[in-house]
């Protein structure tokens, strides 16, 4: 008999036991491990997808911020350039103005110095001229400079041109009053008398002449009638000399550099 | 020369006895269980794992894939029964390379026991899936007249399972034994290799047929249209 029924039963039981053992020690652990791995892979894939999405968001955010920063940088750069340009222009303008002001001050100082120089030169020239004239007149003749000046003044009164004489006469008769004769020095009585006589002849009547000493008047004599004046002094000579001196200085002056 | 390892007795007390079939079965059970325990006690759920774990995962997932391809939609439910059938028969055949070993599947008692397991498991899975009424209805499909033929089919296919496996395994062992006595060199090795192939094929056939029977029992409506899986091979 090929079939041993005790063995059949035993093998049946053995097989059922083996099924249980395989379930316990093989299938379940392997399936659990596979499931755990699949869950883990799914989790890692989900994490990776989330990280990828996060990275994409971060990338987009970075790009957005970078673009914003670029725009802000460009804006700031343009503003800085504009401010720098404005500042440069302002500084150039200020420097130009300062240079102009300094140049003007320099020119003013030079002009002032030049004026002082000319004034001093005129004064020295006048003083020297008077001193030399006084000394020459004293040495060569028996008259004084003041007396000679009175004589010249009287001769001028006597030889006035018609227009000037008419103007003086008109002024005298327009408002009769004293005729003032001002001089830089005190006139002695002889010179006063000769001037009085010349004035009387000029107006053809006895005129009340008032003599006054005016130190501010450049050396000379001046007749004044109702605001109209007639005089003789060395101002004209001094003006001519001033013109010649100015021409001479201008010829030798160095041109100023332009700012 | 014994035709079956049942005839090799080691111990007997009345009807209770210990023969080579039971002893080698216990050895197989110990080897499978110990091997599974040694490998699965330190399983890795990460991406790096041992070669043995890879081997077991491949075996388990392949068995599940085969079960699913047969038509069973929940392979995990049938993995314990069908997978153990395959592993037991395959390992029993694989160990024939060990000198002095006699495969327990070369015993008709073992193959009958396995066929009986299939014979019982098929209605159990069918009832669990379809319920008593639907499952029993399948025996009178398409008409009531088919009931005796269906019952005969159930019995005959169980007998065919047992005899097919026994015949293949016993013949292989017998051929090797005969050849050893005639031409003890080289040629038995070739036949052993052929026996290994035959054993693997038989393990696959037995398991697949069992899966097909279970699938037919759990799918009542499609059973009438599906071809009668059966007694090929």
What chain A residue is nearest to B26 in terms of C-alpha separation?
Answer: A14
Q: Which residue has the tokens 């450049």?
A: A218
* Any domain includes A31: no
Span B137-179, pLDDT tens digits: 888 877 888 888 888 988 898 888 888 888 888 887 788 778 8
Contact B155, B163 (CB under 8 A): no
Which pLDDT score is estimated for A256?
A: 52
B83 neighbourhood in chain A, CB within 8 Å: 22, 27
What would the mean pLDDT of B70-87 be, rounded to a whole number?
Answer: 93
* Any domain includes A15: no
Residues B201-215 as b or e (16 or more Cβ within 10 Å = b): ebbebbbbbbbbbbb
What chain A residue is nearest to B167 in terms of C-alpha separation?
Answer: A2
> Does A42 lie at the interface with B, CB-CB under 8 angstroms?
no
* Any domain includes A51: no
Indicate yes or no: CB of A19 within 8 angstroms of CB of B79. no
* Any domain includes A42: no
List Cβ neighbours of B201 (8 Å cut-off, separation of 6 or more): B233
Indicate yes or no: CB of A27 within 8 angstroms of CB of B15. no
* Any domain includes A148: yes
Q: How many helices (H) and strands (E) does chain A have?
A: 6, 4
- Find, among A227, A206, A221, A236, the residue nearest to A156 by Cα: A221
Distance from CA of A44 to the nearest CA of B (A): 11
B20 vs B104: CA distance, rounded Å: 8
B79 neighbourhood in chain A, CB within 8 Å: 27, 31
3-state SS string over B181-225? HHCCCCHHHHHHHHHHHHHHHHHHHHHHHHHHHHHHHHCHHHHCC
> Does A6 lie at the interface with B, CB-CB under 8 angstroms?
yes
pLDDT band at B98 (very low <50, low <70, confident <90, very high): confident
Parallel/antiparallel/unpaired status of strands A220-225 and B16-19: unpaired
Indicate yes or no: CB of B80 within 8 angstroms of CB of A18. no
| Cis omega (within 30 of 0) for bond into B142 | yes
* Any domain includes A92: no
- If one counts the domains in chain A, the total is 1
- Listed by number, the residues of chain A in 10-39 with a beta carbon closer than 8 Å to a beta carbon of chain B are 10-12, 14-23, 25-27, 29-34, 36-37
Indicate yes or no: CB of A4 within 8 angstroms of CB of B109. yes
| Token output for A29 | 């652990």
* Any domain includes A161: yes
**A212 is in which domain, residue-wise?**
143-247
What DSSP designation does A226 have?
A: T
List Cβ neighbours of B173 (8 Å cut-off, separation of 6 or more): B96, B102, B103, B106, B195
Higher per-residue confidence, A254 vs B71: B71
Q: Is the pLDDT of residue B225 over 70?
A: no
Contact A149, A134 (CB under 8 A): no
**DSSP letters of B79-111?**
IIIIIHHHHHHHHHHHGGGSTT---GGGSHHHH
- CA–CA distance from B141 to each of A134, B69, B127, B157 (Å)? 173, 25, 16, 18
- The HSE-up count of residue A78 (CA atoms within 13 Å, CB side) is 5
A36 neighbourhood in chain B, CB within 8 Å: 45
pLDDT per residue rounded down to tens, chain A (259 residues): 578 899 999 999 999 999 999 999 999 999 999 999 899 999 999 999 999 999 999 999 999 999 999 999 999 999 999 999 999 999 999 999 999 999 899 889 988 888 888 888 878 887 787 788 778 877 887 778 778 888 888 888 888 888 888 888 888 888 777 888 888 888 888 888 888 888 888 888 888 888 888 877 766 788 888 778 887 777 777 778 778 877 887 777 655 555 4
Which pLDDT score is estimated for B223?
A: 47
Span A192-246, pLDDT tens digits: 888 888 888 888 888 888 888 887 776 678 888 877 888 777 777 777 877 887 7
Higher per-residue confidence, B89 vs A114: B89
Parallel/antiparallel/unpaired status of strands A179-183 and A209-213: parallel
Contact A122, A238 (CB under 8 A): yes
B40 neighbourhood in chain A, CB within 8 Å: 25-26, 29-30, 33
Helix (H, G, I), strand (E, B) or coil at A231: strand
Which pLDDT score is estimated for A92?
A: 92
B47 neighbourhood in chain A, CB within 8 Å: 37, 41
- Find, among B110, B73, B130, the residue nearest to B206 by Cα: B110
């Amino acid at each position: 008999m090929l079939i041993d029924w005790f063995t059949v039963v035993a093998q049946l039981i053995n097989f059922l036991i083996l099924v249980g053992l395989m379930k316990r020690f093989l299938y379940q652990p392997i399936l659990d491990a596979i499931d755990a791995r699949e869950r883990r892979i799914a989790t890692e894939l989900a994490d990776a997808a989330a990280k990828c999405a996060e990275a994409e968001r971060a990338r987009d955010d970075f790009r957005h911020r970078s673009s914003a920063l670029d725009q802000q940088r460009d804006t700031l750069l343009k503003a800085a350039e504009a401010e720098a340009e404005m500042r440069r222009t302002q500084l150039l303008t200020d420097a130009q103005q300062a240079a102009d002001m300094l140049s003007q001050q320099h020119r003013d100082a030079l002009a002032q110095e030049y004026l002082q120089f000319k004034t001093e030169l005129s004064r020295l020239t006048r003083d020297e001229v008077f001193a030399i004239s006084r000394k020459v007149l004293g040495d060569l003749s028996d008259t004084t400079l003041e007396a000679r000046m009175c004589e010249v003044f009287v001769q001028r009164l006597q030889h006035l041109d018609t227009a000037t004489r008419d103007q003086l006469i008109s002024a005298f008769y327009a408002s009769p009053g004293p005729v003032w004769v001002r001089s830089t020095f005190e006139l002695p009585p002889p010179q006063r008398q000769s001037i009085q006589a010349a004035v009387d002849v000029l107006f053809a009547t006895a005129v009340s002449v008032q003599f006054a000493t005016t130190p501010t008047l450049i050396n000379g004599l001046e007749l004044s009638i109702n605001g109209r004046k007639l005089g003789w002094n060395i101002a004209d000579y001094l003006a001519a000399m001033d013109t010649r001196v100015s021409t001479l200085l201008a010829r030798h002056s160095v041109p100023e550099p332009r700012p | 020369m014994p035709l079956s390892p049942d005839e090799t007795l080691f111990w007997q007390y009345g009807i209770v006895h210990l023969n080579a079939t039971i002893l080698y079965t216990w050895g197989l059970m110990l080897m499978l269980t110990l091997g599974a325990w040694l490998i699965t006690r330190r399983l890795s759920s990460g991406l790096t794992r041992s070669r043995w774990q890879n081997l077991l995962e491949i075996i388990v997932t392949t068995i599940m894939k085969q079960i699913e391809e047969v038509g069973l939609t929940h392979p995990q439910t049938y993995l314990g029964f069908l997978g153990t059938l395959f592993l037991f028969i395959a390992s029993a055949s694989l160990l024939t390379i060990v000198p002095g070993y006699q495969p327990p599947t070369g015993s008709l008692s073992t193959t009958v026991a396995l066929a009986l397991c299939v014979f019982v498991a098929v209605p159990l899975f069918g009832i669990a899936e379809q319920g008593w009424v639907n499952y029993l209805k399948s025996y009178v499909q398409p008409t009531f007249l088919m009931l005796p033929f269906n019952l005969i089919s159930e019995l005959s296919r169980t007998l065919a399972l047992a005899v097919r496996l026994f015949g293949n395994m016993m013949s292989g062992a017998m051929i090797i034994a005969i050849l050893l006595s005639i031409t003890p060199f080289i040629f038995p090795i070739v036949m052993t290799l052929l026996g290994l192939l035959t054993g693997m094929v038989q393990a696959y056939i037995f398991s697949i047929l069992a899966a097909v029977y279970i699938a037919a029992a759990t799918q009542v409506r499609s059973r009438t249209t599906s071809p009668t899986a059966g007694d090929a091979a």
